Copies of this chain bind each other. A is one copy, B any other.
Amino acid sequence: MLSPSHLGAHTGYHLRLVSNAVSQDFARRLEREGVTVAEWAFLRSLYGVGPIAPSVLAETMGMTKGAISKLADRLLAKELIERADNPDDKRAHTLSLTEAGRDKVPVLAAIADAIETDYFSVLAPGERDALRRILSILADRRGLSNIPIN
């Protein structure tokens, strides 16, 4: 090899470039609503379902129990979620949205929708479909199902 490949030679570089821009913009807009991207994913995961154990959330969100605990602490402090004891197992408990949390989800979803439009409406419909299809191929191949936070 004559010279080591440069940063832009890799698809992953371009992927991160666009992904980070979208995520950072999303994070900035969510910040005005007082939540982070991780908190949005957490709240959305709780929306429309019954009380969930932290361990289940850790599994579906691809985070450790410790990370879920910290996130839950913040959301409890913001009174967007609430904790309840599990009567069957005194070690365990469940998390669910408060009324304020339930009200918040559609507001946050609207922000996510706005980001989608702002960033991806420059693509022709066929292009956006192609992007989604290619990303699905890559995700499926790796068995990715966790919720991306960064």
Q: Which A positions have Cβ atoms within 8 angstroms of B?
A: 1, 3-7, 9-23, 26, 41, 44-45, 47-48, 105-106, 108-110, 112-113, 115-116, 119-120, 122-123, 127-128, 130-132, 134-139, 141-142, 144, 146-150
Choice from B3, B12, B18 contacting A119 with Cβ under 8 Å = B12
Instruction: Output the least CB separation between A101 and chain B (Å).
Output: 12
Provide the residues of chain B in CB contact with A9, threshold 8 Å.
112-113, 116
The number of times this chain is found in the oligomer is 2
A–B pairs, 18, beta carbons within 8 Å: A4-B44, A4-B108, A5-B112, A7-B45, A9-B113, A10-B113, A10-B115, A14-B139, A15-B15, A15-B18, A17-B139, A18-B142, A18-B144, A21-B139, A119-B142, A123-B137, A127-B130, A131-B131
A138 and B112 in contact, given A132-B14, A144-B17 (Cβ under 8 angstroms): no
Provide the residues of chain B in CB contact with A136, threshold 8 Å.
14
CA distance A149 to B20 in the complex (A): 8
CA distance A139 to B76 in the complex (A): 37
Choice from B44, B130, B134 contacting A6 with Cβ under 8 Å = B44
